[in-house]
Each structure stands twice: as structure tokens, then as C-alpha cells.
Amino acid sequence: MKTLLAGVVGWPVAHSLSPRLHGYWLAAHNIAGSYVKLPVARQDFAYVVLALQRAGFAGVNVTIPHKEAAFALAGQIDDAARATQAANLLVFQEDGTILARNTDVFGLRSSLENELGITTLKGRHVVIAGAGGAARAAVVALCALEAQRITVLNRSQGRAEALVRTLASSFQVQLATGNFADWPDLAADVALLVNCTSIGLGHEPQFMLDLKLLPATARVCDVVYQRSGTALVRDARQLGLPAIDGLGMLMYQAVPSFAAFFGITPEVSPALRRYLEVDLA
């Protein structure tokens, strides 16, 4: 039987949980497949991707710093990748073309729905902290959930403005930027706060927005994940606010990738979360 091959391309990629995640599903479904870490420097990205395609890989996931390059490389692009101008999944198709997809959007939306019980954000205001790739995916996911107003707060104002310029024309949403000092004026009507900065990974300073200013009905989502949970999630829960970390987003974004590589739609379960938590540094 032919072994199906896939992997994750990044730099660095040593920390990636994706091989463990896909390995769990490969074993659960008894699939003759392999999913490997592929450390690839920025300048080698296009060359290596084309070589993997020729070597018979089914496709690859793409992580920092290659998501924009993956988008640029592909011949076909799905709606989420087009909206975010970044791809985290490249599918090598039978006709030789490469399809770029962004499954972070699906991952965040599924995590909000399944773990935080958010099925719609109609008429609601969401604040996103951060303006990088994860924040772009968050804007698209929140628009799919029909948020009425999204405010993007970021340390570098220019980056937040660039994000809004790219996305504003594609969605029927009030999309605005601000900086962290605006938080006291915004917090009172926020239905959901999403942290898309890398604060919480361990080496950065504490999260800068005072959660006590949120209304009691607010929810909190951190796209960052840590073995013992992130400080943001802990603080939110201490205030009685429902809160989730980024492990859910990670697990759900992998579902369409696994289906594209190995032909089966796998399940996200509490057992899978526990299995991944063991491997978190």
C-alpha cells in the first residue's frame, strides 16, 4: 500500500504540535501515512515546496514565516486565503496545480462555536488585540459569525491600519483600529475579546488590557496556548468570564488539512486535547 506523506513547513518548526496531532489521527484511523516536520528557511520555501510536490507529498501545512509566500505560490486559492492573503495549507492536486487554503479561519470559528458556545455575533462588538496573521484570520472568522463591529488594537498602529485597509472592503462590518490606551473607552460593550498577540507565550510581558472593565456577559478567547493554560484565560475565568485558549483553534484548523492529506475527516475530542497537552513545553 502507498504511504501517504504530508508535513509542516516552517522556520523554526521544532516546537510544532502538528506532527503529534496528525499522528494521533493517523493511528486512530489506522492509516498508512506519515506527517513530518520540515524546517525550511525563507529563501528556500518555493524550491522545497515544489520538490515535495514532485516527491509525492499530498500537501503541506505552512507556518511562520511562510504563510504569505504560500499564498503567493499557489495557482488556486480558497476564499479564506484570499481574504487573509495568507495560507496555512497547500494541497498538491492530481492535475499538478497547488491549492492554497487558510484553515486558521475555520479553526478559530469552530473553536468559538464548539468551546465557547458562540453561534452568532449579530449586532455585537468584538475587540481583537494584535494585527498579525492570526488577527487577519480572526477578522474573517468573526465576520462569518456576523459581528457588527470589530476593533483591532495593536502596538504598531500602522500594522493595524494595513489590516483594516486589506479587509474592510470585503466585509459588511464596522472595522476600526485603535491602540491599547483606547481600551477603557471600548470595553463596556464588548461581547468577545480575542487575543491575537503573541503575549502569553512565556517571554513577553503581561497582557495589557484590564479584564475588569469587561461586562459580565463578555467572553474571552486567547489564540495562544500553554501547558498550564495562559494567564489571560486564567484571569478571565477568575472574573467569572467564559474563556478558551488557542489549543482548540489549533486542533480544529488541522481537521480540513488531515481530510485533504489523508481522505478522512477526523474528530476533535477531549482525549486529543489531553494527548497534546502532554507535549506542550
Nearest approach, Cβ of residue 112 and ligand NDP (Å): 12
Q: Which is nearer to ligand NDP, 91 or 115 (CB)?
A: 115
Instruction: Label residue 165 exposed, middle or buried (CB < 10 Å: 0-12, 13-18, 19+).
Output: exposed
Nearest approach, Cβ of residue 95 and ligand NDP (Å): 30
Cα torsion angle, 107, 114, 217, 205, sign: negative
Q: Which amino acid is at 58?
A: A
Task: Give the Cα separation of 263 and 250 in Å (integer).
Answer: 19
- Full 3-state SS string of 36-100: EEEECCHHHHHHHHHHHHHCCCCEEEECCCCHHHHHHHCCEECHHHHHHCCCCEEEECCCCCEEE
Tell me whether residue 67 is one of the annotated catalytic residues: yes
Q: Of residues 2, 37, 67, 212, which has the active-site annotation?
A: 67
Beta-strand relationship, 59-62 and 89-92: antiparallel
Residues 6+ apart with CB under 8 A from 202: 226
Place of cell 498550564: 228
Is there a contact between 151 and 127 (Cβ–Cβ < 8 Å)? yes
Nearest approach, Cβ of residue 225 and ligand NDP (Å): 6
Q: Which is nearer to ligand NDP, 53 or 251 (CB)?
A: 251
Instruction: Label residue 56 exposed, middle or buried (CB < 10 Å: 0-12, 13-18, 19+).
Output: exposed
- For 186, phi and psi rounded to 5 degrees? -105, -30
List residues binding ligand NDP (CB under 6 A): 64, 104, 107, 130-135, 154-156, 159, 196-199, 201, 204-205, 223-225, 246, 249-250, 253
Q: Which is nearer to ligand NDP, 177 or 197 (CB)?
A: 197
Point out the residue whose Cβ comes nearest to ligand NDP.
Answer: 132
Nearest approach, Cβ of residue 59 and ligand NDP (Å): 18
Nearest approach, Cβ of residue 104 and ligand NDP (Å): 5
- Whether residue 12 is preceded by a cis peptide bond, meaning omega within 30 degrees of 0, is yes
Q: Which is nearer to ligand NDP, 218 or 249 (CB)?
A: 249
Nearest approach, Cβ of residue 25 and ligand NDP (Å): 16
Catalytic residue list: 67
